[in-house]
């Protein structure tokens, strides 16, 4: 049972770390740290093995995987040893990467994207393919009446013009190709009614949005702690310094806006009110992939006594994201195999901005995830 | 239904903050922040109201409550306004405080302690009394054969000599007086087989040990986060700077040892292994009750990538502890009223070093607590 | 020899803390902590005594000093005890405060401002008056040809329209009234050629800009440390969270721009190059006057090894600024008395954005200050 | 003019980083970051060039340089590229390393040590040799009457028994061999009257003690900042987490004591009083050479307002120390060449626990250093 993972943004840091990492793990070169689906609570027969994943994808960049791996090693994201050990497999991985097709209308582009994915499936004899969006974060996209129904959408797509942002066009193409779809970014992706109609019609699962890897992960356990202790959070103010590919892109205020919104949602949802403060993102080239986040939290306790907490987090963004990409691919493929269509709200554990009315406290998300996976493993 | 709260260490910071705070809350002078039992998930008919608690206690010190409150206001622990508003009730509170009795044998001391508590119950017409130990942390106490059975213990107590440390003698006295017992300190308290035998025989509930108010609270949500994400914690090293009454006492290496052990247990229990590093406690008079804890956590992720997190916590120890003392008194009284005897393991949420084989992750402790309280509220 | 201190923004936090503080110090209610001119290296006969300062000023607000002091006590800026002890002197201080005059032209406004100051001098029998600008930070002001010469300026001022920003109009008025002028803010103040011409003609000293009280103070010792050790600073990125009066004002991006520029200058000047990173200011109402700054510094050492430092600073802005206002008033008055006119570049120690080609390393600024003050104390 | 650098502890982290680094710098493989003597303020003709240093030394360990370099690269102390580039020169370096001689009496051991150094000088045709102690920190050593005069010392040394700790025996041997001596450790070294008598008699310079590379460096600029601003430091409490060779050794409380004393001296000396708090050192194997120090500073300002600062420092100890070892060797050799004997108190800039009544503020130490070096460069 081989499962395909088709990565949008396949030459980016997260995608390449995922592919190289899966290759190194398959070769037994490292423990599967960071892979949630390798924990005893989640492992089991329903999930495709790490060794059974086949990778391909689209990217607008033509940087070679050799060069990208070299950069990731220099930046300390990929350790030198496993990277060297898989060097001879990079050419094979690279053969499965495709440039983004272009055409007169977005409908035609979507058809070509779907065809690339379908070719991959046939060529590699895959049972199913999960499309995972790990491409650059897009500016916030305004939805209109043409995104309300599938019929309206397909009419619009056929006329030319930019009807869908890239993330959503990939989602459309994925669904028409019979694939499930995971949005690891804060971009629009499958979030439009017309696309959900399509996924539902086809019985295809989808998950998102925006992988939860750093500051928000910490928030998702600290905010519930304050709530459970009846401590009133007054200020929660965060600064995120990051470089790397996505950092440069997030320096654009439009893309930044989408991300900053994702990052604060957890507070209002777990505290029941919105404390003061914002989540500030700043691009610092020198920091590279080793993001530094600093958060200040001020809170009131018994009789109004003022207290405070600070944390700083020095995480390697791609090293935190890559194993989650593998987890999400395995879980979504298993859901697809089990006939689960529609929004996979039980995967909220993985996302900053999860789909649906779901808990935002990490422990509750974990409980939902464990229940979901047990359901998959259980004999029908 | 008035409930008595008998505080061991009744002139200490935690005790006085609890009594003054309850008085201020009763007068509507502040919101019940920090009081867990006031959260909607826990509130209900089975718990005695905050306004229905009557206070008394023992202390070896004879500092007046007026003086102690003055000190706590100067130190920023008690806000000036509510403290001033309850000034005229301090004399009434003080009338219920008793010096620690002395006698030839510990058996006789225990009898006198029990009598003080019993007098309080009668005088105030209380339905039941919870004894809460908030006195100074004791050095680690070596248990012997005389602590194995109640019979052996009572024989030894009658002979003179220090058979029990104070915390355990109070527990013994509490149980003989028909009271439940809460150990908010890391001291031995009710942790001896002979005392458990007594509590079981009398059908009396008890809870402990060591209120979880700062660094350990944070650990109890961060350590599970690392575990759920399959991140390997390599080092967890903490420094606690604190002054105040208990700080001076903890500067004594013997008392310190008991506390430091309590504080690291959560890591091994939630991670499944013991990372490197220790929890270091240092007395700094100037810091007073506003403890500063700093923790460094280093961890490995995908392919072994090294990452780190730091936090610093500036909490007011007594302001964090006092509402939990009120919570514990209410919960233990309700358990007593409901006929629950023995160790209240479902109160692990409140303790650094909880009794029993219980979860150490805060979210799981919360779930247990909610279940327990629902059981109390449910009509029989 | 009584010296007048005329405060622009006299009902603001810094001004009121300065006036109340000087009053409390005069009454012996506190040690003169924070007052640099009270250090043995600087104290001496040339400086007017703290007890010899008389206060007055302008403000556009009409908040009473009683109310303002109450707010500052509630915010923890002014300790309750000295504030209470000087309560009966607030009315006297308040009598010397004036609303900002208005008129047809700025020339006429300046004349009325000068007249208010002159009235104060006569009424109180003062030898001289120092005007200190501690009013709200202004947006960056574009200079034009009318600011090049005094003649051009006075022609323009007579015609109506906003020729000068308030800070500069106060400087103009101060100089025409024969007063020295200190700019404690990043606003334009005396920074225009026409105003310097006027000060030079009148032989009046002036100093500025922007009191150095927190993050920049720390930078002024850490940046030289890296330079002296030949360590290459790669990133220096700061976040400043602040509330209070000035915080709200700095939330305005225009005012913010002036401040952020002031704050980074020290790096380029002491390192000889500009590291990556910015100084970010964010308004958080709840933080009030207790600013929190967090800075991340990454640097390279021997053979390129990457290292890092972080600091967080929790300073009370007004408590840090107020004693410097008193220092600057004393020093500038002494310079005036000694016949020193023009820019007091030896006062760079006090400023984020000092006038002239001066050292930015704190230790060098200190040496210059000590030399300058010794010169004042030395018998002619 | 080739200068010898004889390293005591020559197979340790600092020593090997120094030797490999000098070799890499000579080959132009890196900028001389961290080397203070390469700054324009200090560079000049009197100092031997980095390329003119020849290395040798003693060590009790027999780890090969190849293995040690491999360890330092794995630990991130030495970057892989320069380490690889100098691999073929390690064998040559290693040929100059000697085991520590043993003999019946310490006098005889000293003679053999001196002979090893002398052989090195002849074999390599060196003008002079600087002996630098970078061996493990010793426990505090109690001085006695036999250390008072050279005559008494030499009598005692001849009798057998441990009269001198190793660091002092090396100093004795260095001086008898006509070499200058630098103590980069907190050990006793040349600190005994008898040894100073010897150095003075021979006209040999010496410097020490304990290289200032991390927390103490930061203290030496921050403490003066508080002093210059008349801010009263109340608490200064530090935690140092470190692994690596020296870390393991410092875990021994005796060695630790020597270091902790060195580290606090700067506070009392620059503030004029001793604030509360200690400097705590903890061994954490996983941290390795990348020490993490965290310091909390609480201070009082105007009218007693309480404020605080925290910093954390993540420095690579050996990468900070190695360039200073090169600096000290060059400076001491130049002083020797210029006929300067006795304690080089102007090198206080480099040390935690400098010799003599010298300033502890970094900026003043820098000024002294610049003056000293100018004197060396100036034509006689
Ligand atoms: N790393 C994390 O921790 C993390 C967490 C949450 C979300 N994310 C999101 O994951 C995404 C990838 O992050 P990254 O660090 O790998 O970024 P990256 O810049 O290294 O990679 C993005 C890749 O997407 C490609 N791309 C851009 N537009 C495309 C298009 N229209 N079609 C196909 N490819 C396109 C780029 O060429 C690039 O190779 C970002 O959106 C980021 O916000 C990352
Ligand atoms: N404050 C917190 O956050 C917190 C958290 C967990 C545990 N605790 C524990 O709570 C206890 C109280 O802390 P605190 O800050 O109030 O300390 P404290 O020193 O202010 O008060 C302790 C009181 O106990 C009294 N006492 C000592 N020995 C006694 C005895 N044998 N009998 C009766 N009274 C005695 C002392 O006189 C003192 O008044 C400590 O053991 C502490 O470790 C506190
Ligand atoms: N506190 C510090 O540490 C610090 C450091 C450097 C600079 N400063 C500067 O000092 C100034 C004062 O700070 P603050 O915290 O007292 O602010 P604040 O807002 O409390 O006070 C400013 C006062 O200026 C008054 N004002 C505004 N416009 C005026 C005008 N045209 N004429 C007369 N009065 C006017 C306001 O009404 C207010 O009372 C700010 O510009 C700030 O940037 C403060
Ligand atoms: N790295 C820094 O930042 C720094 C700063 C100040 C002082 N120091 C001091 O420098 C010294 C070296 O530090 P390191 O990190 O290289 O330690 P290390 O443990 O890596 O090296 C010490 C070496 O000394 C050798 N040694 C021990 N006893 C000896 C003896 N009697 N004769 C000869 N050799 C002996 C050991 O075998 C070892 O090779 C320590 O004393 C340390 O305290 C280091
Ligand atoms: Na901090
Ligand atoms: Na930090």
| A80-103: pLDDT as tens digits | 888 999 999 999 999 999 999 999
Q: Which residues in chain C have Cβ-Cβ distances shorter than 8 Å to D313? A: 309
Atom of ligand 4 minimally distant from the CA of D170: 32
Strand A205-208 to strand C128-133: parallel, antiparallel, or no bridges (unpaired)?
unpaired
Residue B1 has pLDDT above 70, yes or no: no
Taking CA atoms, what residue in B is nearest to D299?
B286
Mutation to probe ligand 3, out of C69, C135, C256 (largest number of atoms < 8 A from CB): C135
Q: What is the mean pLDDT of chain D?
A: 94
Q: What is the pLDDT confidence band of residue B288, given thresholds at 50, 70 and 90?
A: confident
- For residue B380, pLDDT over 90 is answered with no
For B308, which DSSP code?
A: E
- Say how many Å lie between the CA of residue B311 and the centre of ligand 6: 7
Q: Is the CB of D288 under 6 A from ligand 4?
A: no
CA distances from D219 to C230, D293, D360 (A): 18, 12, 10
Confidence category of residue C130, pLDDT binned at 50, 70, 90: very high
- CA A142 to chain centroid, in Å, comes to 21
Residue ranges lining ligand 1, Cβ < 6 Å:
A 8-9, 11-14, 58-61, 100, 134-137, 166, 184-185, 210-211, 213, 244-246, 249, 317-318, 320-321
Closest residue in D to C39 (Cα–Cα): D230
Task: Report which ligand 4 atom has the smallest distance to the Cα of D15.
Answer: 16
**Mean pLDDT confidence for A71-79:** 90
pLDDT at D168: 98
For D39-72, write each residue's pLDDT tens digit: 999 999 999 999 999 999 999 999 999 999 999 9
Nearest CA in chain B to D296: B292
pLDDT at B164 over 60: yes
At A289, the pLDDT band (50, 70, 90 cuts) reads confident
Q: State whether C36 and D228 contact (CB < 8 Å).
A: yes
Contact A30 B305 (CB under 8 A): no
Angle at C64 between CA C60 and CA C70, to 5 degrees: 125
Which chains border B (3 or more CB–CB pairs < 8 Å)?
Answer: A, D
Interface test with A, best of B231, B303, B307, B328 (most A CBs within 10 A): B303
Domains assigned to chain C:
3-211+319-377 (3.40.50.720), 215-315 (3.30.360.10)
pLDDT digits (tens, 9 = 90+) for B135-161: 999 998 999 999 999 999 999 999 989
The percentage of residues in chain D with a pLDDT greater than 90, rounded to a whole number, is 85
Tokens for B125, please give them: 């017409």
Task: Decide if A36 and B230 are in contact by the 8 Å CB cutoff.
Answer: yes
Residue D87, SS3 per DSSP: helix
pLDDT for the residue numbered B245: 66
Mutational test site, ligand 1, from A78, A99, A134, max ligand atoms within 8 Å of CB: A134
Q: Give the pLDDT score at A259.
A: 67
* 3-class SS letters over B167-236: HHHHHHHHHHCCCEEEECCCCCCCCCHHHHHHHHHHCCEEEECCECCCHHHHHHHHHHHHHHCCCEEEEE
* Total count of residues recorded for chain A: 380
Q: What is the pLDDT of residues A245-284, one digit of tens each?
A: 666 776 676 667 666 776 778 999 999 999 999 888 888 8
Taking alpha carbons only, the member of B317, D226, B285, A232 closest to residue C313 is D226
* Atom nearest to A318 CA in ligand 1: 1
Question: Which residue did the predictor score with more confidence, D2 or B133?
Answer: B133
Chain D residues with CB under 8 Å of B312 CB are 294, 296, 310
Average pLDDT over residues C130-157: 96
Q: Residue A91: its pLDDT value, please?
A: 95
pTM of the model: 0.94
The answer to whether D239 contacts B285, with C-beta atoms less than 8 Å apart, is no
Residue A179 contacts residue A332 (beta carbons within 8 Å): no
Question: Average pLDDT, stretch C272-278?
Answer: 93
Region for residue A76 given its phi and psi (left: phi exceeds 0; alpha: psi -120 to 50; beta: otherwise): left
Q: How confident is the model at residue B219 (pLDDT cuts 50, 70, 90)?
A: very high
Res C11 pLDDT > 60: yes
Asked if residue A282 lies in contact with residue C280, where contact means CB atoms within 8 angstroms, the answer is: yes
Look up residue D166 and give its two tokens: 């190793």
Distance CA C226, CA C301 (A): 10
**What are A166-187's pLDDT values in tens digits?**
999 999 999 999 999 999 999 9
Within 8 A of D314 by CB-CB distance, chain C residues are: 307-309
| pLDDT at B254 exceeding the cut of 70 | no
Cα D368 from Cα D362, distance rounded (Å): 10
Q: Which of D35, D18, D20 is nearest to D85 (CA)?
A: D20
Name the residue with the closest Cα to ligand 2, atom 25.
Answer: B9
Quickly tell me which residue has 């010298």 as its tokens.
D358
Beta pairing class for D97-99 and D53-59: parallel
Residue A208 has pLDDT above 60, yes or no: yes
Q: Which pLDDT band holds residue B263 (cuts at 50, 70, 90)?
A: confident
pLDDT for residue C259? 67
Q: Are A276 and C285 a contacting pair at CB < 8 A?
A: yes
Chain B neighbors of D310, CB-CB under 8 A:
294, 312
| pLDDT at A245 (0 to 100) | 66
- As a whole number of angstroms, the distance between CA D20 and CA C4 comes to 65
D130 vs B244, higher pLDDT: D130
Q: What is the C-alpha to C-alpha distance for residues B299 and B308, in angstroms, rounded to an integer?
A: 6
Q: CB within 5 A of ion ligand 5: which residues?
A: A 310; B 312; C 312; D 310
Cβ of B224 and A221 within 8 Å? yes
- Other CB atoms within a 10 A radius of the CB of residue D337 amount to 18
Q: What mean pLDDT is predicted for residues A205-221?
A: 95
Mean pLDDT to the nearest integer, D198-208: 97
| Confidence band of B207 (pLDDT split at 50, 70, 90) | very high
Question: What residues of A are in contact with residue B301 (Cβ under 8 Å)?
Answer: 33-34, 315-316, 319-320, 323
Kindly identify which residue of chain A lies nearest to residue C291, measuring between CA atoms.
Answer: A296
Residue B348 CA to ligand 3 center (angstroms) comes to 51
Task: Look at residues C53, C54, C17, C49 and name the one whose alpha carbon lies nearest to residue C34.
Answer: C17
CB contact under 8 A, D235 and B284: yes
C-chain residues near A312 (CB < 8 A): 294, 296, 310
What is the average pLDDT across D223-241? 96
Q: Do C305 and D316 touch (CB under 8 A)?
A: yes
Residues of chain B neighbouring A232 (CB-CB closer than 8 A):
31, 33
pLDDT, residue A290, reads: 86
Average pLDDT over residues D353-370: 95
Ligand closest to C251 (CA) is: 3
Which of C352, C236, C246, C350 has its CA nearest to residue C291? C246
Instruction: Report the pLDDT value the prediction gives residue D76, as an integer from 0 to 100.
Output: 87
Whether C9 is in the pocket of ligand 3, judged by its Cβ within 6 Å, is yes
Whether C320 is in the pocket of ligand 3, judged by its Cβ within 6 Å, is yes
Question: What confidence tens digit (pLDDT) does each residue in B359-376 have?
Answer: 999 999 999 999 999 999
State the average pLDDT over residues B38-58.
95
Nearest ligand (C-alpha, residue D213): 4
Q: What residues of chain B lie within 8 A of the CB of A221, using their CB?
A: 221-222, 224-225
Query: Residue D245: pLDDT band by 50, 70, 90 thresholds?
Result: low
Tell me the per-residue pLDDT of C194-216, one tens digit each, with 9 for 90 and over. 999 999 999 999 999 999 998 99
Beta strand residue intervals within chain B, DSSP E: 3-8, 53-59, 97-99, 128-133, 180-183, 205-208, 232-242, 279-283, 290-300, 306-316, 342-343
* 3-state SS assignment for residue B25: helix
CB C159 within 8 A of CB C151: no
Residue B296 near residue A304, CB atoms below 8 Å: no
Helical axes D150-157 vs D193-202, angle rounded to 10°: 110
Beta strand pairing call for C306-316 and D3-8: unpaired
CB neighbour list of residue A332: distance below 8 Å, 6 or more residues apart: A130, A180, A182, A205, A206, A207, A344, A347
Is A69 or D288 the better-scoring residue by pLDDT? A69
Q: In DSSP terms, which residues pair with A59 in a beta bridge?
A: A99
> Quick check: CB of B275 below 6 Å from ligand 2?
no
Flag if D302 and C21 touch (Cβ within 8 Å). yes
- Per the prediction, chain A carries an average pLDDT of 94
Residue bearing the bigger pLDDT, B279 or C134: C134
CB contact under 8 A, B218 and A217: no
Which subunits count as partners of chain A given 3+ CB pairs below 8 Å? B, C
The per-type count for chain A, helices as H runs and strands as E runs, is 13, 11
Contact D206, D171 (CB under 8 A): yes
Tell if the CB–CB gap between D35 and C230 is shorter than 8 Å. Answer: yes
- In chain D, the N- to C-terminal Cα span, in Å, equals 18
Distance from Cα A310 to the centre of ligand 6, integer Å? 8
Omega before A209 within 30 of 0, i.e. cis: yes
- Residue A88 C-alpha from the chain's centroid: 28
| pLDDT band at A10; cut points 50, 70, 90 | very high
Count CB-CB contacts under 10 A for residue B364.
18
3-state helix, strand, coil in chain C (%, to 5): 50, 20, 30
Kindly list the partner chains of chain D, i.e. chains with 3 or more CB atom pairs below 8 Å. Answer: B, C
Instruction: Place B75 in a pLDDT band, splitting at 50, 70 and 90.
Output: confident
CA distance B353 to B350: 9
* pLDDT computed for residue D285 by the predictor: 87
ipTM: 0.94
Q: What is the DSSP string of A150-207?
A: HHHHHHHHHT-S--S-HHHHHHHHHHHTT-EEEE-SSS-TT-SHHHHHHHHHHT-EEE
């Amino acid at each position: 049972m081989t499962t395909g993972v088709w990565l949008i943004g396949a030459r980016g840091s997260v995608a390449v770390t995922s592919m190289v990492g899966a290759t190194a793990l398959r070769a037994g070169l490292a423990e599967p740290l960071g892979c949630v689906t390798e924990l005893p609570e989640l492992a089991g027969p329903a999930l495709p093995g790490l060794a059974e994943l086949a990778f391909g994808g689209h990217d607008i960049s033509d940087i070679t995987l050799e060069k990208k791996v070299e950069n990731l090693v220099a930046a300390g994201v990929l350790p030198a040893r496993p990277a060297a050990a898989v060097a001879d497999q990079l050419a094979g991985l690279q053969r499965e990467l495709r440039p983004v097709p272009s055409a007169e209308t977005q409908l035609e582009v979507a058809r070509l994207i779907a065809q690339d994915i379908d070719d991959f499936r046939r060529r590699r004899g895959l049972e199913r393919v999960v499309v995972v969006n790990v491409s650059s974060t897009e500016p916030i996209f305004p939805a209109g009446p043409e995104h309300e129904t599938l019929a309206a959408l397909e009419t619009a797509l056929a006329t030319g013009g930019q009807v869908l942002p890239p993330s959503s066009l990939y989602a459309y193409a994925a669904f028409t190709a019979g694939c499930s779809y995971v949005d690891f970014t804060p971009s629009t992706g499958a979030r439009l009614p017309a696309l959900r109609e399509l996924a539902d019609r086809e019985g295809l699962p989808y998950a998102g949005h925006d992988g939860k890897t750093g500051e928000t992960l910490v928030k998702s356990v600290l905010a519930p702690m304050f709530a459970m202790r009846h401590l009133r959070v007054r200020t929660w103010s965060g600064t995120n310094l990051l470089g790397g590919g996505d950092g440069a892109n997030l320096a654009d205020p439009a893309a930044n806006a989408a991300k900053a919104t994702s990052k604060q949602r957890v507070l209002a949802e777990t505290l029941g009110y919105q404390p003061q403060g914002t989540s500030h993102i700043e691009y610092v080239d020198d920091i590279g992939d080793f993001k530094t986040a600093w958060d200040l939290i001020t809170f009131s306790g018994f009789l109004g006594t003022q207290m405070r907490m600070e944390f700083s987090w020095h995480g390697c963004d791609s090293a935190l994201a890559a194993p989650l990409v593998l987890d999400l691919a395995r879980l979504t493929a298993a859901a697809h195999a089990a006939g689960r269509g529609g929004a996979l709200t039980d995967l909220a554990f993985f996302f900053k901005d999860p789909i649906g009315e779901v808990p935002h406290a990490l422990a509750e998300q974990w409980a939902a995830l464990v229940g979901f996976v047990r359901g998959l493993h259980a004999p029908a």
